[in-house]
């Protein structure tokens, strides 16, 4: 058993120890079936290798691109080996702080902070874009309510619609938690119309069997538990988290949860890498606009 486990487990950092190994991995993820021009969809190209980042020139329209365009690595000045190290450290059970990351991979604090935010953004965006599909349950739940002190709702408490997919062995798979913006803090839950809006926007209805739970006393329990865990986790991590940015952090929470699900053949790192290639980088300016205040930045 042990030998088998050892041959299967190959640390990310040893597999991607050189710039070239990292770049080839990104090229393979970007164009899994070979090059496709983003401008004219032509599939033949020439590869220009004179630069640090190899360029691919379309044989038809001469458009030049690289595997980093449209990914979290676009315009980076850092070696990709540092990025791959950061991805691996990000997946540590307790995550990693920007301060610690800056020490380990030897970049400035600001660079490490920005890298971690780009990774988080990719996870959240990726998760938000993928529809629920299969055996789907949908709850009309409340976020931010302490069940033992229901008379004191948190100022950021809000109605949410939560949805999940369930495997054949009754395990929760993908989860989505969506705030219902017009029902913040007043204790009202999403109604049937709001549940239907969620299902239309976030469920692949043609390929799914959907079961709704609109009544407070009859929610789908495993899903309600995840909503409570999200609240516990976010309230502790982001003390100063304002309602304006809560949806983005909920997306990150459910995305990170999904990365840690067992069962898939691909490793967590591979999944994270895939997300990083699928989602364009959030810029420093966009990120600052998203930060509610300084204490959130300090908490990150």
Helix axes 98-105, 80-90, angle to 10 degrees: 140
Look at residues 233, 234, 252 and name the one whose alpha carbon lies nearest to residue 243: 234
Say whether residue 42 binds Zn ion (CB under 5 A): yes
Q: Is residue 61 involved in binding Zn ion (CB under 5 A)?
A: yes
Alpha carbons 272 and 88: distance in angstroms, whole number: 9
**Closer residue to Zn ion in complex, CB, 36/287:** 36
Q: For residues 19 and 57, which CB has a smaller minimum distance to Zn ion in the complex?
A: 57
Question: Which residues, other chains included, contact 186 with Cβ-Cβ below 8 Å and sequence gap of 6+?
Answer: none
Cβ atoms within 10 A of the Cβ of 229, count? 13
Instruction: Find the shortest distance in angstroms from Cβ 37 to Zn ion.
Output: 3
Contacting range for Zn ion; rule: CB under 5 A; set: 20-28, 39-47, 183-191, 252-260:
39-47
- CA 187 to chain CA centroid, nearest Å: 29
Q: Minimum Å distance from CB 39 to Zn ion?
A: 5
Residue 145's SS3 state is: coil
The tokens describing 291, both together, are: 């930060």
Helix (H) or strand (E) holding 273: helix 268-278
Q: By C-alpha distance, which of 163, 185, 162 is closest to 243?
A: 185
Give the angle 121-123-128 at the CA atoms, nearest 5°: 95
Nearer to Zn ion, 37 or 164 (CB): 37
Q: Which is nearer to Zn ion, 64 or 237 (CB)?
A: 64
Q: With CB under 5 A, what is the number of residues at the site for Zn ion?
A: 8
Taking the least distance from each CB to Zn ion, the nearer of 63 and 154 is: 63
Residue among 63, 154, 224, 235 that touches Zn ion (CB under 5 A): 63
Binding of residue 45 to Zn ion (CB under 5 A): no
Under the criterion CB under 5 A, does residue 59 sit at the interface with Zn ion?
no
Residue closer to Zn ion by CB (options 45, 87) is 45
Shortest Cβ 59–Zn ion spacing (Å): 8
58 contacts Zn ion (rule: CB under 5 A): yes
Question: Does 177 engage in binding with Zn ion (CB under 5 A)?
Answer: no
- Residues within the interface to Zn ion (CB under 5 A): 37, 39-40, 42, 58, 60-61, 63
């Amino acid at each position: 058993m042990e030998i088998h486990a050892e041959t299967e487990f190959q640390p990310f950092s040893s597999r991607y120890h050189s710039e070239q190994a990292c770049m080839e991995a990104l090229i393979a993820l970007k164009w899994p079936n070979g090059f496709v021009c983003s401008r004219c969809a032509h599939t033949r190209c020439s590869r220009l290798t004179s630069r640090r980042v190899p360029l691919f020139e379309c044989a038809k329209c001469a458009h030049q691109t690289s595997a980093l365009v449209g990914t979290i690595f676009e315009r980076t000045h850092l070696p990709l080996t540092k990025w791959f190290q950061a991805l691996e450290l990000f997946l540590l059970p307790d995550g990693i702080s920007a301060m610690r990351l800056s020490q380990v991979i030897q970049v400035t604090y600001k660079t490490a902070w920005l890298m971690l935010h780009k990774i988080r953004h990719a996870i959240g965006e990726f998760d938000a874009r993928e529809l629920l599909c299969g055996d789907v349950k949908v709850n009309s739940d409340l976020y931010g309510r302490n069940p033992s002190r229901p008379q004191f709702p948190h100022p950021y408490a809000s109605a949410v619609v939560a949805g999940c997919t369930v495997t054949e062995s009754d395990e929760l798979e993908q989860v989505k938690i969506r705030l219902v913006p017009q029902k913040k803090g007043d204790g009202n839950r999403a109604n049937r119309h709001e549940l239907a809006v969620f299902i239309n926007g976030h469920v692949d209805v043609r390929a799914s069997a959907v079961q709704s739970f609109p009544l407070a006393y009859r929610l789908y329990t495993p899903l309600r538990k995840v909503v409570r865990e999200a609240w516990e986790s976010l309230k502790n991590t982001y003390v100063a988290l304002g309602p304006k940015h809560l949806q983005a952090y909920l997306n990150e929470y459910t995305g990170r949860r999904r990365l840690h699900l067992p069962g898939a053949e691909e490793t967590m790192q591979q999944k994270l890498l895939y997300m990083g290639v699928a989602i364009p980088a959030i810029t420093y300016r966009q990120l600052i606009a998203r930060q509610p205040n300084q204490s959130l930045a300090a908490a990150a």
